[in-house]
Chains A and B, each alone.
Chain A
Amino acid sequence: MIILSYISKGKWKKAMKQKNKFLFIIIVFTFFYFMPFSSSKILNALMESLLMAQDYARQHVLLCLIPAFFIAGAIANFISQENIIKYFGAEANKFLSYTVASVSGTILAVCSCTVLPLFAGIYKRGAGIGPATAFLYSGPAINILAIILTARVLGFELGLARATGAIIFSIVIGLSMHFIFHEDEKEKIKDKSLFSESNTQEERPLWQTAFYFTTLIGILIFANWRKDESLKIWQAIYSSKWYITGILLIILFWMLVKWFNKEERAQWVSSSWSFAQQILPFLLGGVLVAGFLLGRPGSEALIPKIWIGNLVGGNSLWSNLFASVVGAFMYFATLTEIPILQGLLGAGMGKGPALALLLAGPALSLPNMLVIRSILGTKKTLVFILLVITMATLSGMIFGYFF
């Protein structure tokens, strides 16, 4: 006999569902009733939204996102997370803890839902508040999908700035948190077993894993090579990019047959597929909304450009601060921050404020502030939020000054 614990709540849940459905229907039909679809402004915005979705489908999905999903799937499957987590133990070398915390988001934060439990674990049982907050800040910003798509859609500099900004400032934030609160840390339980290496053996030699990842990343890079005539070598690569990609695909295929068993291949495909399932619907939604409200770069949609220019144009302290605060409180589903920023940049947002939003956005949102508060308590959470907003504003201003 199975007793599901929530069976008693079942009836109540059903009633809620009916009510939600009813509300949903009312909202949808009121929307269609009152929406002035025939006005040219709305028509134009709708058109922009569709065109932006087409842009993504044509330019970013096939060559960039799909290989990126496969890379994310490979990371989730073939890189042992325990090997990284051991650097977050209470006894671990402090210098290593901070360094690893600031960069390990690429590997550990592939799914946004893993960030908070890891953060809580590092804080409560391991290296303490410094490395924990460093990880919390940089993790979501440097997960591999986010970096790839930022660099692809918003430009290489912004992608690079996002990654380096997140890494550098995460250490600053971590150290500040440690400096402010290290007194309360003394009587904590330290649990070594949580961070010890597990006894599972790596089945594959390191060089094979490394070679496999290099090939995957190579495919992503060469398939997306853009025309650049400044140097002969770039041009040569561009004209033969499909041959290079083809050869890499053959090598990849060979490796998959030789080094991986059937089960591993199936797991790889299924976790890549689950990333795609999780992320694509939200991304499409984000693209449609961003297109509808902001339009593609160079054209205007529903929100007048002048508003955006006034709020977040240029590189003033105000613009950067505004972008950071909005980013900190708003919730972005994984990767949706990118089409939204693309729309904003096209409508006149400065590059500095864009970076500020990219840094403050994924690290914080109102719902996850509440979870963080349940772990850290109100005072530390407030200090953390303030630090994030300050650091994001600052890095935005620095970036905006140079680019």
Chain B
Amino acid sequence: MKIEILGTGCPKCKKLSELAAEAVNKLGASAEITKVTDINKIIDYGVMVTPALVIDGDVKIAGKIPEKEEIKRWIEEKKNEIIS
């Protein structure tokens, strides 16, 4: 699974990547977390309000920091999709 954090490096983006790492850790999921800081790439995802969280190419949230539980739920959902 590929998790991407889109953001230009503001405190909110850092917070979001911490949360994502924690969620991945908790679930023991196999996921790669990368940060995308290039604005042109961020726009290519169709995101204009950062920070945003992208799992396997799907934009899950933009402009807000989600709850950790929510991130966990998205990761689980993706996992199930892959299995089925």
Contact = CB atoms under 8 A, between A and B. Distances in A.
Interface residues of B, number: 27
B31 interface: yes
A371 B41 CA distance: 13
Q: Is the interface of A mostly helix, strand, loop or mixed?
A: helix
Q: Is the interface of B mostly helix, strand, loop or mixed?
A: mixed
Contacts of A120: 39-40, 42-43, 48
Nearest to B15: A274
Contacts of A111: 10, 12
A8 B9 CA distance: 20
A79 B25 CA distance: 33
A274 B11 contact: yes
A120 B50 CA distance: 12
B39 A2 contact: no
A124 B38 CA distance: 14
A113 B48 contact: no
A81 B63 contact: yes
**Among B7, B33, B63, residue most surrounded by chain A Cβ atoms (within 10 Å):** B63
B19 interface: no
B50 A117 contact: yes
Contact of A125 (B10, B21, B24, B43): B43
A375 B49 contact: no
Interface in B1-51: 7-13, 15, 21, 24-25, 30-35, 39-40, 42-43, 46-50
Interface in A85-130: 85, 108, 111-114, 116-118, 120-122, 124-125
Contact of B48 (A4, A6, A117): A117
Contact of A3 (B8, B11, B32): B32
Contact of A2 (B7, B24, B35, B40): B24
A113 B10 contact: yes
B74 to A, nearest CB: 16
Contacts of B48: 85, 117-118, 120-122, 194
B25 A2 contact: yes
Contacts of B15: 274
A114 B50 contact: yes
Interface residues of A, number: 30
A4 B21 CA distance: 9
Contacts of B10: 111-113
B52 to A, nearest CB: 9
Given A114-B63, A118-B48, A374-B40, A5 B11 contact: no
B67 to A, nearest CB: 8
B61 to A, nearest CB: 11
Given A2-B33, A121-B48, A113 B43 contact: no
Contacts of A30: none
A86 to B, nearest CB: 11
Given A2-B30, A3-B32, A122-B48, 19 more contacts: A81-B49, A113-B8, A113-B13, A114-B49, A114-B50, A114-B63, A116-B8, A117-B39, A117-B49, A117-B50, A120-B43, A120-B48, A121-B48, A191-B46, A193-B46, A277-B11, A278-B11, A371-B39, A374-B39
28 contacts: A2-B21, A2-B24, A2-B25, A2-B31, A2-B32, A6-B35, A108-B49, A111-B10, A111-B12, A113-B7, A113-B10, A113-B13, A114-B49, A114-B63, A117-B42, A117-B43, A117-B47, A117-B49, A118-B48, A118-B49, A120-B39, A120-B40, A124-B40, A125-B43, A374-B39, A374-B40, A375-B39, A375-B40
Interface of B: 7-13, 15, 21, 24-25, 30-35, 39-40, 42-43, 46-50, 63
